[in-house]
Chain A
Amino acid sequence: MNTMIFKTGGDWDSTTLFNNGEEVLASQLFIEIHAGRDGWGDPDRGGIYAGGTINAILRTQDDPDTAQGIFPGRIELDFPGHSIIIDNTHPYFDFEFTRVTYNNIDVTGNIVDLLVNIDADNNVVEANITLYKPHWLTSDEVATYNII
């Protein structure tokens, strides 16, 4: 089972990836989650519990053409000012057992979208998370946080 820690200070030199305590020379780290939508495809409450899809792969520098699955396991993503923890230790990697924490707050029931794409070959770094934030008096909010 993988226990990964991804850290970056905002540039490639400070970007590291460790798996079970050992550094991984990675080519691409890609994580994508889509959840929290109703029957019409619009964002709604529920997050992971409302069903969805997750795609989490790692391409190493030794074999960049092979996509290796990250889960079941756990990955921590530390960005400047943001931290994300994705956990799914189910033996069959069932989607409903995915847990997402954003800045130490459990957003499993609020998450709508998550995208983390760290692609060294194409020099692409993007990460954002979208949460469904219900409000009592005012309109509900679909908030997108651009992480990097």
Chain B
Amino acid sequence: MIINRRSRFKGVLQAILAGVIAIAVACPLLPAAAQRRSGGGGGSFSRSGSGFGGGSFNRSGSSFSGGSVGRGNVGSSSSGSFNRGGAFGSRSYTGSSSGSSYFYGGRSAHYYGGYGDYWYHPAWYYWTPFHPAFYFGAPYIGSDGYYHPGGFSIIRLFMSLVFFVFVLWLIVKIFFGSKSVRYTTYN
């Protein structure tokens, strides 16, 4: 069996085009794009009927004590003062720019938005392996009543590896299709 290699000229234009596609695939990794989104349509404080009166979450200096984020009582049946029950929804990125504070892990912390808003109200691209939170499970309420971060997901890591290998193979297949030809003989 003889393997015959045959090289083809692939111009600079094809290499540039392959690079453009690779960059376009990796675009969701850009921090600005990853965080440029609003409340996501579920649980935003701007929803009608919330009784909040249009005030945003970015009241400077405001802090929560009884119904803070770090406590486990956010899932209680009581709707509290805002005429709404259930867990908090995602927060608007613009509303967090002033650094609103919340209670987490027994201490007051400032919220600046970002990856913590991934779970429960993700945009479609958060289900792709380009977002870091894709590789982790959703936060859960521990026995101590506090939120704990979700664990690393091996299955999602494996899925992302398969996905990236497939994308790489597809690019090579399309733009660098030159391959060896094997000669066989059948008697």
A binding-site residues for B, Cβ under 8 Å: 40, 42-43, 139-146
Known contacts A139-B179, A139-B181, A143-B185; 11 additional CB pairs below 8 A are: A42-B6, A42-B181, A140-B182, A141-B183, A141-B184, A142-B182, A142-B183, A142-B184, A143-B184, A144-B184, A146-B185
| Chain A to chain B contacts (Cβ below 8 Å), 6 pairs | A139-B180, A139-B182, A141-B181, A141-B184, A144-B183, A145-B185
B143 within 8 Å of A by Cβ?
A: no
Q: Which of B6, B179, B182, B185 contacts A40 (CB 8 A)?
A: B6
- Residues of chain B with a CB closer than 8 A to A144's CB: 183-186
Closest CB in chain B relative to A43 CB, distance in Å: 7
Measured CA separation A138–B183 after assembly (Å): 13
- Please provide the 4 A-B residue pairs with the shortest distance between their CB atoms, ordered closest to farther: A144-B185, A146-B187, A142-B183, A140-B181
B binding-site residues for A, Cβ under 8 Å: 3-4, 6, 179-187
- Residues of chain B with a CB closer than 8 A to A142's CB: 181-184
- Residues of chain A with a CB closer than 8 A to B182's CB: 139-142
Q: Whose C-beta in chain A lies nearest to the C-beta of B181?
A: A140
Closest CB in chain B relative to A140 CB, distance in Å: 5
Measured CA separation A43–B181 after assembly (Å): 9
Contact A146 B183 (CB under 8 A): no
Q: Whose C-beta in chain B lies nearest to the C-beta of A133?
A: B184
